[in-house]
Amino acid sequence: MITDITGYTASIYMRGIRFGFVPTTILALVDASIGGKNGIDVGVYKNMVGIIRQPSFLLHDLSLLQSLPEKEWQNGFAEIIKHACIKDAAMFKQLEQHSLADYMKDKKLVAELVQRNALIKTKVVQKDEFEKGDRRLLNYGHTIGHAIETQYGLMHGEAVAIGMVYASQISEQLLGFDAKERVKALIEKYQLPTTISFDAKKVFEVLAMDKKRVQKEMNFVLLNKIGKAIVHPIPLQRLEKIINKL
């Protein structure tokens, strides 16, 4: 939230001044500080007002994690799991072999993981800054995640975790994805939620206003396999039926 507000304000103040980020959470280190998206929520609608403008610098100081609450470690690992699901099957296996406690106590292990994730996102953004192609894959788990996050008072990582589980279910239904239980098990391992009771009608109403909507279709990120994601257009009418059955 702080990186979004800072980047947005700096981008419009005096028609734009230079800014930089010193991220202090796992979420900001691997995701929020990278890529130049600076968005502000409007009511229950996520990042509806915003701009893409790159920071002048990023300073990653992992010593700042020493005082990070465990809840914020969990929150940030949702984006790490997301990167593994869409781009890095080997990292997915590594996460399965370790635990949150391992990363919290081993400085070298977490440093390597943060760097690996920062490079994944940086490379994607360098190739597709304005989200015309591959960058759209970074939205895995975010379509439904954003629709439930503000309405139900969830942390971003919690909402994305739930969104990834639902997206893996939809991937199974539409693409024959056969590893939804692995995705769910990994999310549970890192102490993140995998489901929530929600009002399907209200969630779909918010989801239908998502920026990824193109006319009567939603560009939904699904998984062919662990480490391989695609953007799959789903007609809104069909998506509404799918949401109602989740």
Say if CB 54 and CB 103 are below 8 A apart: no
Residue 158: active-site member:
no
Residue 60: active-site member:
no
Residue 108: active-site member:
no
Residue 37: active-site member:
yes
Residue 71: active-site member:
no
The percentage of residues in the chain with a pLDDT greater than 70, rounded to a whole number, is: 100
Q: What span, in angstroms and rounded, lies between the C-alpha atoms of 21 and 76? A: 17
Number of H helices and E strands in the chain, helices first, is: 11, 7
Residue 42, pLDDT score: 85
The encoded tokens of residue 11 equal 């981008």
Res. 45 pLDDT band, cuts 50 70 90: confident
User: Which of 37, 60, 82, 212 is an active site residue?
Assistant: 37
Residue 169, pLDDT score: 98
Q: What span, in angstroms and rounded, lies between the C-alpha atoms of 41 and 233? A: 25
Q: What span, in angstroms and rounded, lies between the C-alpha atoms of 61 and 205? A: 40
* Residues forming beta bridges with residue 51, ordered by sequence position: 38
User: Which of 46, 87, 146, 180 is an active site residue?
Assistant: 146
Over range 110-118, report the average pLDDT.
98
Mean pLDDT, the chain, whole residue set: 95
Over range 7-35, report the average pLDDT.
96
Residue 142: active-site member:
yes
Residue 131: active-site member:
yes
Q: For 195-235, what is each residue's pLDDT tens digit?
A: 999 999 999 999 988 877 888 899 999 999 999 999 999 99
Residue 244: active-site member:
no
Residue 238: active-site member:
no
Over range 17-37, report the average pLDDT.
96
Say if CB 226 and CB 85 are below 8 A apart: yes
Residue 180, pLDDT score: 98
Q: Exposed, middle or buried: residue 3 (CB in 10 Å: 0-12, 13-18, 19+)?
A: buried
> 141 in helix, strand or coil?
coil
Over range 123-137, report the average pLDDT.
94
Residue 219: active-site member:
no
User: Which of 83, 142, 180, 212 is an active site residue?
Assistant: 142
> At which residue do the structure tokens 């702080």 appear?
2
